[in-house]
Amino acid sequence: MLRIECPCCGPRDHDEFRYGGDASVTRPAHDDPDPEAWYRYVYIRTNPAGPHREYWQHVTGCRQWLVVERDTRNHVIASVDFARKLRARKSTLRKSPA
Amino acid sequence: MASLTSRDFSLSVADCPLVQIEGWDGTLRQFEKSVSASLGKKLPASVGETVHHKGLLIIRVAPRRLWLALDEGTEVPALVVDPDLGCSVPLGEGRARLKMAGPDIARLLSGRIAVDWHAPTAAPGRAVLTSFHHVPVLFLRTGETACELIVPRSFARSLSDWIAGG
Amino acid sequence: MSSNRKRLSVGGRIVREQPVEFTFDGRKLAGYRGDTLASALLANGVTLVGRSFKYHRPRGIFSAGPEEPNALVTLGSAGRREPNLPATTPELADGMVVETQNRWPSLAFDVQSVNGLLAPFLSAGFYYKTFMGPTRRAWMFYEHFIRKAAGLGRAGTSPDPDHYEVRHAFADVAVVGGGPAGLSAARAAAAAGARVALIEQDFLLGGQLLAEPSDSAAAAWLKQAEAELERFETVALMKRTTAFGSYDGNVLGLVEQRDPTDPQPNGETRQTVTMLHARSIVFATGAIERPMVFSNNDRPGVMLASAARTYLNRFAVLPGKKIIVATTNDGAWRTAFDYAAAGAEVTVADLRAVPPAALAAEAARLGVVVRAATRIVDLCGGHAARQVMLNGPEGQSWTACDLVCVSGGWSPTVHLTSHLGVKPVYRDDIGGFVPGAFPADRFGAGAMLGAYTTAAAVEDGHRAGIEAASFCGKSAPAPTPSKLDLGETAAAPHHEVLPAGRGKAFVDFQMDVTTKDIELAHREGYESVEHLKRYTTLGMGTDQGKTSNFPAIAAMAALRNATIPETGTTTFRPPYTPVAIGALAGRAVGHHFKPIRRTPMHDWHMANGAEMLEVGVWMRPYFYRQSGRDVNEAHVAEMRTVRQAAGLMDISTLGKIDVQGADAAIFLDRVYANGFAKLAVGRARYGVMLRDDGIVFDDGTTTRLAENRFFMTTSTAKAADVLSRLEFLLDTAWPDLRVAVTSVSDEWAAMSVAGPASRAILSAAFPDLDVSDEALPHMGLLESEWEGRGLRILRLSYSGERAYEVYVGASAGEQLWSRLLEAGRPFDLKPYGVEALGALRVEKGHVAGPEIDGRTTLDDLGLGRMVGKRSGFVGDVLRGRPALQAPNRQRLVGLECIEDGKRLRGGAILFLPDEKPYGHGRGRVTSVTFSPERGHYVGLALLAGDVASEGSEVVAVHPMKAETVRARIVSPVFIDPQGERLHG
Amino acid sequence: MARYSAFSVFRNALSGQKNWQRAWRAAEPKPSYDVIVIGGGGHGLATAFYLAENHGIRNVAVLEKGYVGGGNVGRNTTVIRSNYLLDGNTQFYEFSMKLWEGMSRALNFNVMFSQRGQLVTAHSADQLDGFSHRANIMRLNGIDADILDREEVRRLVPYLDFSDTARFPIHGAIFQGRAGTARHDAVAWGYARAADNHGVDIIQNCGVTGFVRDGDRIVGVETTKGRIGAGKVGLAVAGHTSVLGAKAGLELPIESHVLQAFVTEPLKPLVDHVVAYGADHFYVSQSDKGGLVFGGNLDGYNSYAQRGNLGVVREVAEAAIALMPCISRVRLLRHWGGVMDMTPDASPIICPTPIDGLYLNGGWCYGGFKATPASGWCFAHTIANGKPHPLVAAYGLDRFRTGHTLDEAGVGPSAWLQ
Ligand SMILES: Cc1cc2nc3c(=O)[nH]c(=O)nc-3n(C[C@H](O)[C@H](O)[C@H](O)COP(=O)(O)OP(=O)(O)OC[C@H]3O[C@@H](n4cnc5c(N)ncnc54)[C@H](O)[C@@H]3O)c2cc1C
Ligand SMILES: NC(=O)c1ccc[n+]([C@@H]2O[C@H](COP(=O)([O-])OP(=O)(O)OC[C@H]3O[C@@H](n4cnc5c(N)ncnc54)[C@H](O)[C@@H]3O)[C@@H](O)[C@H]2O)c1
Ligand SMILES: Cc1cc2nc3c(=O)[nH]c(=O)nc-3n(C[C@H](O)[C@H](O)[C@H](O)COP(=O)(O)O)c2cc1C
Ligand SMILES: [Zn+2]
């Protein structure tokens, strides 16, 4: 079993979680009309053989969506964090004046 | 619903009066302040911690979510959550409380849920959200050889049968 | 006991006070508590135990552990029938029924042993080269016989009456293996303060120490070590427990055999599978001895040297009195010495030119004949060994014997450490593969690392135990390492070169793979070990080549003149030893396969004649028996009731989600294709969600309870998916929105009162509620309380009739259900099931599962207009892709059967009247029902837009029923197109 | 090539098997080839064979990073069926079925194609309706199909759970008599031998590490055995499609997931068909050697590790017992994994790519073994003619942009989020 260390619930078997796929693709804004952007978001995947940032939801636990960094070659997990936290950081980054 | 009592194990099923409150991202501090003020008790700090106060068991089930479980006979606390800080949902109709006790309980539970009976995170007074035969349940460690499972009502019989070995 | 004629009168670890009776192919035999089936058979002088896979050659007992390739038997009968069990593993138990397998009519006389004569033709992979004609289907003919000939034991065909458990366990340090290394590792780790689980597949701890005389220093040390470990409360001694697999996250899969001699604790459980979560693991799995390769080396009477020693010292069995010990290394000499001491006549044939002097001296002292630089080249004997041909400096000659003990060296047991994809690495000094690099939380100890003496194993185990404990932060001062030196030596083994002997020299005994087969595979280019394995089936038997893999690799290396590391090993896979499928399923069998989900009204349905139906994990009323003889009759009657009076339906299975927060309206506006921002408080709206790719995802109604609070319902099937999706969007895409979503599916019992009389029934049921059309218009909400529980009445219709959805606190569900039926009795209110529900919605032209099939768009379903000019909702952009807008896409239409005495059927394919019915047609019938209203069958269909003009005809072709039916394209709304009944 | 036949087996037996030749040469790379096929799996080898056999292109190399047949063709559960619903899929897989029916003779290698029939159980009237739809489409496309009721299923496979403790009672089944299994390794070896016989170089232990470009055209590959020139390059690396695609600068709608397979100890004949459980993820057949070969669902996360986890092992075992209680005491002998190239609509991709000289064959998900001959046939045609074979016209890369997806299961992209 993968053991995913939920930041608030502790280490759990991965069957407590729901997989959410590649977390490196960014979802276009809800009102982004660009078909290309949506096409890439929905379909295109880098699918690396190596470190992979991916979404998991602790669905039978705290129900938080997490971002897990895991090596697809050996399943070793390097980091786990709340998707919200990372997202927040990202957006603040974007907000900061260039 | 399967309830059973034998020399070394007892299982009973009870209702589970319960209110869920949740604070918004960003204003969590204020939310917690106001709630603990109106409950007159400090809230459990981290997920899995519980605080018992005036017939009310306060459980942190997620970073911004708390469950207020009422002991039998106690009234729902008159708790108004400021909509600018958070919200609340009653969940007391939809859950059942499976109460279990017995010397062999640790062994028995090990065949049901993936919780380490001896870990500090499962010590008496702790809560663990986990899954039981694919169903989300809340494990409450109530004593040395006693615990409860708060389970969705629609699964309560299937799960209690399973525990009782039916 | 007289029958135990090969049993010594003293010694061993058997309990002579406890005789155990069993039958072997019907023969009554007896052994003792502490025996394995194999030791009991040997004690009784049974040498012929099995038949080989391909040539049906007679086979005996070769080993004393799970590596056994030969002695496979079937235990038990009927539902308890268990084929292919190596006789060397099960603990002898009273009443054991043992049956030999892969022989007919009897073990001693097996007709198919003629295969042995055909052997020249049955060489490796011969079947790839023939059986190809005369016809294309020829193989089907040959396969029939080949399948019969193949296989080993026969499985039972009735269900297994026994129970199994799957459980979780946790430990700081897991130690796999209870030999000297494992024992001292466990001792050290426990002393350091760690919680330890010691896992041993055998029913006794000790490992190779059990092969030492029961009155030896080793035995004393073992006793002491076991006692010490038992004193720790923090140590779980798991005997009869095999670690079958090593998985990610330091999870070990364990399977525990129930102690056959004591039914407690939980004696009803035959086997328990444990998922052990360990913070660190010590692998002390030891090593497995290798056979030697010579002609007829598979005959009964040939045995691994360490096994022979185990039978002598652990089980007090003397399988032979005139024995040959053939070896490449020091270890096997101890077997020779012990047999000599037990009074056997012993010859040692050592491949090495000069065996160590110390051993030679001891041999002389015990009168053991030593022949250096000597090997066995052939063996003569049928059901037991009679003589072997020795070849050495003294030349070549037959020597009489009744037991041949072989040792081709040792192979560290590296299975578990390889399961995570770490390839083992070759060590020339020990002539074997040891584990590849260990990750930080895994350790090895003892023979599995090449520490081949007990002294080294004990010392090594101590070291590993301390390291593993300190990895978990447990480093209390360790005790002094206990010592145990048996004066073993482990000089580097001599490498055996394969003989080109006459007759068959076996490498894989069970799969009947000989040196000739390996040569053939090499000749034909199947020279990679993986090709060798797959072409010859080498190592693919129940023993997974535990004894045969290394000799095979060595042989192939020689043929390729490559080194052994260049040649490499095949991949080690779980399970280490085979695991019963039932054990892995545990208690999730029968009706517990998946948890059963019941609505609050479940008991009422059961008590009131409902025929129940599995819908996902839910149980729902299919129809009620009092409505009719079978579902067809009943559901039509139930439809009539709804249309003419009123029906009551349990809809508690709907997904229900509480949506709250300042931004709730904005949120719903984005997740639904149609708008919700402008929905008035106290009103409900039907909504459709799309997937990101623009395809319809789910539909349901959402009601605005308050400015910032909504009550969402989803389809039964999609409830969990919708919630996770909403949470996904909030957590990852729009964290700035202030919205909380919570499942309240279990909170509310839900029932629909549908039909002309529904309002009257409600006012009768709730005398003090105003349910007038003014107070509760279509799509309106009425919130109140009932019996102290929340009550929500929504005026919604699925059937097309005036209808209300009544939600009440789940604990009052059954009570309100009964109350409504009672209030409805004067109005002829009756309950109805999902079949009627489905039929009613078809009549009304509402889409459901069959239409929302994960490939249809809003426009396909005729719902496009819901969207209007909106944008910015999930799926908005990609639904605009050309293919999803194509005019010839299949879209929803109604169909009406226009041929008397015929009917429409779901799954029928649609063609134009003049078309040849071939290919994929123009569309298909998705849902049908007999319409009591129309008096004939009506259906919904998806039909190509360019031909879907109302009024024109299509032909519905259903080859499975050999039916062709003419139908007219009509509006999908078959009743009350103006929707007057909603208010009727 | 010395032909295989009953007679040759007999003759060689008399000469102690000494006169057999290599099934295919141990070839080392030439400086360049007309066509290089990357990937010595079923599809790559079949492609090379049909390039030579159908198009006379014989200056071809198959480059395999490991040993031939070591990928998914060597680790799959070998179910072969042509019961596809959607226009495009239906005809392609039936064409493949027809090629299977003649394969052993065409290759002069017995691939043990066993048309023992496959059935999928149905557990409600609605599910059976869905199956009828499928069966009707099959019949209307000239493919054999039948719908069985509960009693007919019981007669065919009495050992399934027909008791009243069954969690999901069996209602009926869909059955295809021509469906079955084949000896997976033999398929790889048979194509390798036949291709070699046409002069194709089969080069093992030769991993492709990059592409050689001349402007925006691909003119060769970098390998662990050095640079090799190529007129055209065909990619048929299944689970590793993204890895090589990235090296070529292709953006692909593919995720690699692990699927596990299982085999029990060898048993005397018990399961005479391919049986799939319609209420959950489990399907089983019995190999000619006697092992019950079965599988279930994906582990459910991206992986290149060729191994799965214990959770799925247990789920599959639970489903196995739910369908076949009688195998409770039968023991699991081995379980392993393979790396699936999953596309968003679970249908394959065979097409020329935007990159000149590079052709793509991938996205076979967990269903590409049955496609092996047709895939090789059509991919060879596509490479030879520079444009797709009509049977694979629907398998273009652009379908995701245009919306012409072929979603048999109707779960859509990223099923886990639906
Ligand atoms: C457990 C399991 C069960 C399955 N069950 C079925 C089934 O029942 N029915 C069915 O139809 N399908 C099934 N499949 C799917 C089927 O096996 C695959 O779709 C099909 O085999 C893929 O085509 P292939 O044979 O060419 O792939 P592969 O055999 O994987 O061939 C690809 C080859 O490319 C090689 N390669 C990769 N990278 C490089 C590189 N850089 N350089 C050189 N070579 C490279 C690999 O080593 C591999 O040999 C199953 C798959 C699995 C894993
Ligand atoms: N004569 C020789 O040349 C030679 C060679 C190797 C080993 N030995 C002897 O073997 C001993 C080495 O000690 P050791 O402790 O390293 O090995 P060991 O063989 O004594 O103990 C290993 C134990 O691990 C158990 N085991 C293996 N795999 C298991 C699994 N998957 N699950 C549960 N249990 C499992 C075995 O049943 C065995 O009891 C010494 O006594 C040494 O003399 C001798
Ligand atoms: C159809 C089929 C049948 C198999 N039968 C057996 C078997 O009887 N015994 C065995 O040990 N392995 C069997 N295997 C599994 C292989 O040993 C091997 O595990 C699989 O091909 C994956 O290769 P790998 O484990 O080397 O990675 C079988 C595999 C397949 C695909
Ligand atoms: Zn969590």
Predicted local confidence at residue C489, as pLDDT? 82
* Amino acid in position C709: R
Q: Give pLDDT tens digits along chain B (166 positions).
A: 556 667 688 999 999 999 999 999 999 999 999 999 999 999 999 999 999 999 999 999 999 999 999 998 888 777 889 999 999 999 999 999 999 999 999 999 999 999 999 999 999 999 999 999 999 999 999 999 999 999 999 999 999 999 988 5
What ligand 3 atom has the least distance to the C-alpha of C544? Answer: 11
Residue B106 amino acid letter: A
**Per residue in C905-955, pLDDT tens?**
999 999 999 999 999 999 999 999 999 988 899 999 999 999 999 999 999
As a whole number of angstroms, the distance between CA C187 and CA C954 comes to 81
Per-residue model confidence (pLDDT) at position D415: 64
Q: By percentage, how much of chain D surpasses pLDDT 90?
A: 96
Nearest in space to D411 (alpha carbons), one of C720, C210, C718: C718
Q: What pLDDT does A95 receive?
A: 43
CB spacing of B153 vs C599 below 8 angstroms: no
D241 lines ligand 1 (CB under 6 A): no
Residues C831-876: tens digit of each pLDDT: 999 999 999 999 999 999 999 999 999 999 999 999 999 999 999 9
**Sign of the alpha-carbon torsion through C330, C332, C338, C344:** negative
The predicted pLDDT at position B73 comes to: 84
DSSP string, D203-246: E-S--EEEEEEETTEEEEEEETTEEEEEEEEEE--GGGHHHHHH
How far is it, in rounded angstroms, from Cα D113 to Cα D101? Answer: 7
Tell me the average pLDDT across C235-252: 97
| Mean pLDDT of the residues in chain D | 96
The average pLDDT across D18-40 equals 97
pLDDT of residue A93 exceeding 90, the answer is no
Closest-lying ligand 2 atom to the alpha carbon of residue C180:
15
What share of chain D in percent tops pLDDT 70? 99
Query: Closest-CA residue in chain B for A85?
Result: B25
Q: ipTM of the assembly?
A: 0.97
Q: Is the pLDDT of residue D418 over 50?
A: no
Chain D residues whose CB is inside 8 A of the C884 CB are 403
Contacts of B118 in chain C (CB under 8 A): 170, 195
Q: Does A38 touch chain D (CB under 8 A)?
A: no
Q: Is the pLDDT of residue C276 over 90?
A: yes
Task: Name every residue whose Cβ is closer than 8 Å to that of residue C276 and which is 6 or more positions away in sequence.
Answer: C169, C170, C171, C174, C197, C199, C243, C251, C252, C253, C254
Report the relative pairing of strands B95-101 and C829-831 from DSSP bridges. unpaired
The number of CA neighbours under 13 Å toward the Cβ of C194 is 34
Confidence (pLDDT) at A92: 47
Angstrom CA distances, C626 to C498, C631, C831, D131, stand at: 80, 11, 10, 30
Q: How much is the pLDDT for A94?
A: 43
pLDDT at site C267:
52
What pLDDT digit, counting tens, does each position of A32-53 carry?
A: 999 999 999 999 999 999 999 9
List the beta bridge partners of residue D362: D349
pLDDT of residue C704: 98
Give per-residue pLDDT as tens, C150-208. 999 999 999 999 999 999 999 999 999 999 999 999 999 999 999 999 999 999 999 99
Residue among D92, D110, D309 with most chain C CBs within 10 A, to mutate: D110
Distance, CA of C713 to CA of A92 (rounded, Å):
35
pLDDT in tens, D249-266: 999 999 999 999 999 999
Model confidence band, residue C120 (pLDDT cutoffs 50, 70, 90):
confident
What gap in Å lies between CA D43 and CA D397, rounded to an integer? Answer: 18
What whole-number distance in Å separates Cα of residue C819 and Cα of residue C208? 74
Give the gap in angstroms from C-alpha A41 to the nearest C-alpha of chain B: 26
Question: Using 50, 70 and 90 to split pLDDT, how confident is the model at C1?
Answer: very low
DSSP conformation class of C152: S
Query: Using the 8-state DSSP alphabet, how is residue A29 labeled?
Result: P
d(CA C765, CA C636): 27
The pLDDT value given to residue D414: 76
A91 touches chain C (CB under 8 A): yes
Query: With pLDDT > 90 as the criterion, what percentage of chain A qualifies?
Result: 85
Could C159 and D326 be called an inter-chain contact, meaning their C-beta atoms sit closer than 8 Å? yes
Of C465-474, D1-10, D355-364, the poorest mean pLDDT is in D1-10
CB-ligand 1 contact for D157 (6 Å cutoff) = no
Residue C100: per-residue pLDDT: 96
Residue pair D82/D97 in contact (Cβ under 8 Å)? The answer is yes
**Does C734 score more than 50 pLDDT?**
yes
Work out the average pLDDT over D65-71: 97
d(CA B80, CA B35): 8
Query: Which residue is closest to A63 within chain B, CA to CA?
Result: B62
Binding-site residues, ligand 3, Cβ < 6 A: C 540, 544, 570-571, 573; D 74-76, 78, 184, 261, 263, 287, 289, 291, 293, 306, 333-334, 336
- Alpha-carbon distance D243 to nearest alpha carbon in chain A (angstroms): 7
Nearest Cα to Cα of residue C387 among C336, C322, C318: C322
C423 touching chain B per CB within 8 A: no
Band of residue A89 on the pLDDT scale cut at 50, 70, 90: low
Contacts of D11 (CB under 8 A, 6+ apart): none
Residue D83 to residue D101: CA distance in whole angstroms: 16
User: How far is the centre of ligand 4, averaged over its atoms, from the C-alpha of B130 (Å)?
Assistant: 9
Q: Which of A49-58, C259-268, C812-821, D368-377 has the lowest mean pLDDT?
A: C259-268
Distance CA B106, CA D184 (A): 47
Closest ligand, as measured to the CA of D185? 3
Average pLDDT for residues C294-299, to the nearest whole number? 95
Which of A6, A18, A38 is the best mutation test for C, with the most CBs of C within 10 A? A38
Shortest distance, CA A16 to any CA of chain B (angstroms): 6
pLDDT at site B78: 79
Query: Is ligand 2 within 6 A of the CB of residue C982?
Result: no
DSSP string for C385-404: --EEEEEETTEEEEEE-SEE
Residues 6+ apart with CB under 8 A from C818: C604
- Residue owning tokens 């194999």: C38
Q: Is A22 within 8 Å of D255 when comparing Cβ atoms?
A: yes
Ligand 4 centroid–CA C761 distance in Å is: 47
**Cross-strand pairs, A21:** A55
Least CB–CB distance from A65: residue in C275, C693, C727: C727
Q: Which residue has the tokens 């249809």?
A: C856
For D329-374, how does the pLDDT look when each residue is reduced to its tens digit (9 = 90+)? 999 999 999 999 999 999 999 999 999 999 999 999 999 999 999 9
* D403 vs A: CB within 8 A: no
C164 CB neighbours in chain D (<8 A) are 328
Give the residue carrying structure tokens 């560290």.
Answer: C412
pLDDT score of C490 more than 90:
no
Q: What is the pLDDT of residue B4?
A: 66
pLDDT at B1: 55
Instruction: Please tell me which of the candidates D300, D302, D305 has its beta carbon nearest to residue A74.
Output: D305
CB-CB under 8 Å, C732 with A23:
yes
pLDDT in tens, B61-92: 999 999 999 998 888 777 889 999 999 999 99
Provide the pLDDT confidence category of residue A97 given band limits of 50, 70 and 90. very low
CA angle C105, C106, C110 (to 5 degrees): 75
What residues contact C949, with CB distance under 8 A and at least 6 apart? C969
SS3 state at D164: coil
Task: Give yes or no for a contact between C905 and C956, defined as CB atoms under 8 angstroms apart.
Answer: yes
Q: Which of C170, C595, C742 sits opposite B89 (nearest CB)?
A: C742
Instruction: Give which of C949, C951, C967, C846 is closest to C905, Cα–Cα.
Output: C967
Judged by DSSP in three states, C163 sits in strand
Rounded average pLDDT over C296-321: 97
| Residue A88 binned pLDDT confidence (cut-offs 50, 70, 90) | low
Q: Is residue C487 pLDDT above 90, yes or no?
A: no
Q: Could you read off the pLDDT of C73-110 as tens digits, one per residue?
A: 999 988 899 999 999 999 999 999 999 998 888 888 88
Cα separation, C261 vs C252, in Å, equals 27
pLDDT in tens, C13-52: 999 999 999 999 999 999 999 999 999 999 999 999 999 9
How many C-beta atoms lie closer than 10 Å to residue C370's C-beta?
18
> Exposure of D214 by Cβ count < 10 A (0-12 exposed, 13-18 middle, 19+ buried)?
exposed
Kindly give, in sequence order, each residue whose CB lies less than 8 Å from that of residue C357, ignoring residues fewer than 6 positions away. Answer: none
Of the partner residues B25, B65, B129, the one whose CB lies closest to the CB of residue A9: B129
The ligand minimizing its distance to the Cα of C459 is 2
Q: Per-residue DSSP letters for C784-811?
A: EEETTEEEEEE---SSSSSEEEEEEEGG
Is residue A90 very low, low, confident or very high in pLDDT (cuts 50, 70, 90)? low
The H-assigned helical ranges of C571-630 are 581-585, 602-607
Residue C800 CA, distance from chain mean position: 47
> For position C263, what pLDDT does the model report?
60
